[in-house]
Amino acid sequence: MSDKILYGYTGIFDTPDEIILAANKVAEDGYKKFDVNTPYPVHGMDNAMKLPVSKLGYAALIFGLTGTISAVTLMYFLSVFDYPIVIGGKPFFAFPAFVPIIFEVTVLAASIATVVTMIALFFKFPNISHPLHDTEYMKKVSSDKYGILLQADDLKFTEESAKELLAKLGAKDITAIYYDQAEISTEHKIFEPKFISLLIIIAVVVSGSTYFALNKLMFMVPFNWMMEQSKIIPQDNNSFFSDGKAMRTPIEGTVARGNMPYQFKGDPESAGKYLKNTLLPTEKNLDLGKKKYDIYCSPCHGYYGEGDSRLRGQFPNPPSLHSEKVRTWTDGRLYHVITEGQNIMPSYASQMTRKERWATILYLRVLQRSLNAKESDLE
């Protein structure tokens, strides 16, 4: 067939010694586009063919290090920034504990990437439509013979010289290999319509089933069984108790954890005698006190404790806080007033925390001092 395109000429050899010699001679002859086909790797063939050393080692190194760096970065970011939790008293970036995972990810990345590089990049596989497939030559070198192929697109190639060279080397079954029509394509294999549609199908199937599995299936029987358990949780209703609720109210006298009830209820004298201010007059505490005083106390007592209420008579004005009586009251006595209220002043216990109350009292002392300063304050 004159319109068949020639791929190359092949020759068969019977022993490994012969093929090594033959390969070496072809390489020395100056051929660049030739190949040797053997059923298993023959020692010394790489040198005989004058092949440069494989660069796959670099792929392994680069991808391996990428894996290492990715693993370290990921664990650092997650454990130190995103959701730091103290586990076992160890630091957030617990490097010794991270080493096993770093190692595994390195090996995984390097192995997968190197093999994929070899198959896809170096071999340009999968490729099941190569001219050598389905030839008698391939059947022989797959089993027990050794072969040489001289490619037609080599610069030194002519049909006659190729046949002559193979005969000179002692090859048997010198045959021509032609391209099949179907094997000639100028497109990149990766853009083939069949392959693209396969990719699309896989993408649709995988994402669809993932969505279904995670968002629908997990909420279907039997996977949702543990979501509905027979045990009772606090906000449930429940037929066991007469009021139909699962939660019971706390019994009389229950206190919140860490919160002892106020022990000087209705007893201002003892409060004044025994309670001591837990805070020191630091700038921070005084700032807090000022803030709270301005929010809670000033509407009635005025900003400077003089009793100039802003309430315009809706509430009677309180007496001044600079009176002798109030100035000599202890901090504890003042605390009692804030906590329980006094006369028509209500209790501020639910609006101010205990610390805030003490801080306010400190600030009040400052105000009082301001109108009753000592000589020494001027220095």
Partner 1 sequence: MSSNQTNIDYSKKDLPGILTKLGFALFGVGLVIVISAFFIDHTRAAFNNLILLLFLTSIGLGSLFFVALEYLAGAVWSTPFRRVLEFFAATLVILPIVALPLLFNMHDLFHWTHNEVVQSDTLLKSKSGYLNVSFFIIRMIAFFVIWLTFYFVITRNSKKQDISGDQSLTSKNIKISAVFMPFFALTVTFSAIDWIMSLEPHWFSTILGVYYFSGTVLAALAAATLAIVLLVEKGYFVKGMVRDHYYSLGALLFAFVNFWAYIAFSQYLLIWYANLPEETFWFLHRWEGNWMFVSIGLIIVHFIVPYFGLLSQPSKMDPKRLKFMSVWILFAHFYDLYWLVMPTYGKGYAVFGWIELGFPILAVGLLILIFTFKSKNQNLIPIGDPKLKRGLNFRL
Partner 2 sequence: MNEIDYTREIPVIEGRPALREIDDLIAKPLETKPDKKYYIALAVTLTMTGIGAIALLLSFYYGTGLWGNNNPVGWGLPIVNFVFWVGIGHAGTLISAILFLLRQRWRNGIARFAEGMTIFAVMTAGIFPLIHVGRPWLAGYLFPYPNQHSLWVNFTSPLLWDVFAVSTYFTVSFIFWYVGLIPDFATLRDRTSNKIKKLIYSVTSLGWRHSNRHWQHYEMVYLILAGFATPLVLSVHTIVSFDFAVSIMPGWHTTIFPPYFVAGAVFSGFAMVQNVLIFIRKIFNYEHIITLNTLERMNKIILLTGSMVGYAYAMEFFIAWYSGVQPEQFTFINRAFGPYAWAYWIMVSCNVIFPQLFWVKKIRRSIPIMFVIAVLVNVGMWFERFVITVTSLSRDYLPSSWAYYAPTLVDGAILLGSFGFFFTWLLLFTKTLPVVSIAEVKAVVEGSQPSHGDH
Decide: is 246 part of the binding site for partner 2 (CB under 8 A).
Answer: no
Size of residue set near partner 2 by CB under 8 A: 70
Rounded Cα distance between 356 and 339, Å, is 11
Q: What are phi and psi of 51, to 5 degrees?
A: -80, 140
* Binding residue for partner 1, selected from 62, 97, 246, 345, defined by CB under 8 A: 97
Q: Which stretch binds partner 2 (CB under 8 A): 124-132, 172-180, 236-244, 281-289?
A: 124-132
Name the minimum Å distance from CB 44 to partner 1. 9
From the list 270, 297, 311, the residue with the least C-alpha distance to 363 is 297
Phi, psi of 174 (to 5 degrees): -75, 115
Give the side-chain half-sphere CA count within 13 A for 361.
27
Report the nearest approach of partner 1 to the CB of residue 96 (Å).
Answer: 5
341 counts as binding partner 1 under rule CB under 8 A: no
> Is there binding between residue 107 and partner 2 (CB under 8 A)?
yes
Q: Which does 81 bind (CB under 5 to 8 A by kind): partner 1, partner 2, none?
A: none
Residue 307 touches which of partner 1, partner 2, none (Cβ within 5-8 Å per kind): none
SS3 state of residue 174: strand
Which part of the chain contacts partner 1 (CB under 8 A), choosing from 83-91, 156-164, 333-341, 351-359?
A: 83-91
Nearer to partner 2, 41 or 250 (CB): 41
Cβ closest to partner 2, residue 50 vs residue 276 = 50
Amino acid (1-letter code) at residue 261 = P
Assign 133 to helix, strand or coil: coil
Does 96 help bind partner 1 (rule: CB under 8 A)? Answer: yes
Rounded Cα gap, residues 3 and 265, in angstroms? 112
Which of partner 2, partner 1, none does residue 89 bind to, with CB < 5 to 8 Å depending on kind? partner 1
Using the rule CB under 8 A, is 98 a contact of partner 2?
Answer: yes
Q: Which stretch binds partner 1 (CB under 8 A): 90-98, 152-160, 220-228, 325-333?
A: 90-98
CA angle (98, 101, 104) in 5-degree steps: 150
- Nearest distance in Å: CB 105, partner 1: 17
Cβ atoms of 40 and 174 closer than 8 Å: no
Residue 309, Cβ density class (10 Å: 0-12 exposed, 13-18 middle, ≥19 buried): middle
Rounded Cα distance between 337 and 83, Å, is 45
* ∠ Cα 90 93 97 (to 5°): 65
Is residue 55 a contact point for partner 1 (CB under 8 A)?
Answer: no
Residue span 51-70 as binding mask against partner 2, x where in contact by CB under 8 A, dash where not: x--x-xx--x----------
Instruction: Give the pair of three-digit tokens for residue 326.
Output: 């109030």
C-alpha–C-alpha distance, residues 35 and 95, integer Å? 50
Alpha helices in 226-353, H assignment, sequence order: 268-274, 283-292, 298-301, 324-328, 331-340
Binding site for partner 1 (CB under 8 A): 43, 57, 61, 88-90, 96-97, 99
By CB under 8 A, name the binding residues for partner 2. 16-17, 20, 23, 35-47, 49, 51, 54, 56-57, 60, 74-75, 78-79, 82-83, 87-88, 90, 94, 97-98, 100-101, 103-105, 107-108, 110-112, 114-115, 118-119, 122-123, 125-130, 132-133, 138-139, 141-144, 214, 218, 222-223, 226
